[in-house]
A and B are shown apart, each in its own frame.
Chain A
Amino acid sequence: NAGVTQTPKFQVLKTGQSMTLQCAQDMNHEYMSWYRQDPGMGLRLIHYSVGAGITDQGEVPNGYNVSRSTTEDFPLRLLSAAPSQTSVYFCASSWGQGQETQYFGPGTRLLVL
């Protein structure tokens, strides 16, 4: 098992550019989510999914888009990057709603100039 994988590890964007952060898991987990981590703010939930075809917004969803076409993949799209989106992004997955450990990917460091 590779667990939760994220690509790329590091990315530099210019303001206004778009990109997709990839997240994949090979544990057949139904629940997946995206967080961003900023100094002094901790980790905050961006979007989450409770299964293929089902997504919902978290605490800080503005400027981000998600879809879940398969159980394995949960990409995060930045529609028009802004410097405020400079952050470290983590993807997480778990099997059940409340009984299971959350597994986190290694993160993607994004710098928006």
Chain B
Amino acid sequence: KQEVTQIPAALSVPEGENLVLNCSFTDSAIYNLQWFRQDPGKGLTSLLLIQSSQREQTSGRLNASLDKSSGRSTLYIAASQPGDSATYLCAVNSGYSTLTFGKGTMLLVSP
């Protein structure tokens, strides 16, 4: 059974810092890995999708890496802003487009 772990569970940083969120998974037989953002009381917004054959993806200030063999992914956020405050979820697709989620990292960026 696939299990996904996210570390840390919560993170508080001052505005402007670069930060790294970590995700690990137990079964390397994945199709892809996706990072989502969730604001309180809201739905999920897809940030980045990394295919199993890729090593990284970038979108603006966000960069996600994937090391499938070691079962690890990182989400790097550059020059953090208060608007980045949200919960970040990592999810792996092991087939049939069904996702196994981590419990998330709650990020607070203070002005």
Q: Which residues of A contact B (CB under 8 A)?
A: 31, 33, 35, 40-45, 48, 50, 56, 58, 90, 92, 94, 96-107
CA distance A40 to B103 in the complex (A): 7
Interface size on B, residues (CB 8 A): 25
CA distance A48 to B96 in the complex (A): 8
Are A31 and B31 closer than 8 Å at their CB atoms? no
Query: B residues within 8 A CB of A58?
Result: 98
Knowing A41-B103, A42-B104, say if A33 contacts B43 (CB, 8 Å). no
Query: A residues within 8 A CB of B101?
Result: 35, 42-44
Among the listed stretches B13-21, B44-52, B73-81, which one makes contact with chain A, having 4 or more residues with CB under 8 Å of it? B44-52
Query: A residues within 8 A CB of B46?
Result: 101-104
Are B32 and A99 closer than 8 Å at their CB atoms? yes
Knowing A43-B89, A90-B43, A106-B43, say if A97 contacts B97 (CB, 8 Å). yes
Instruction: Check: B22 CB closer than 8 A to any chain A CB.
Output: no
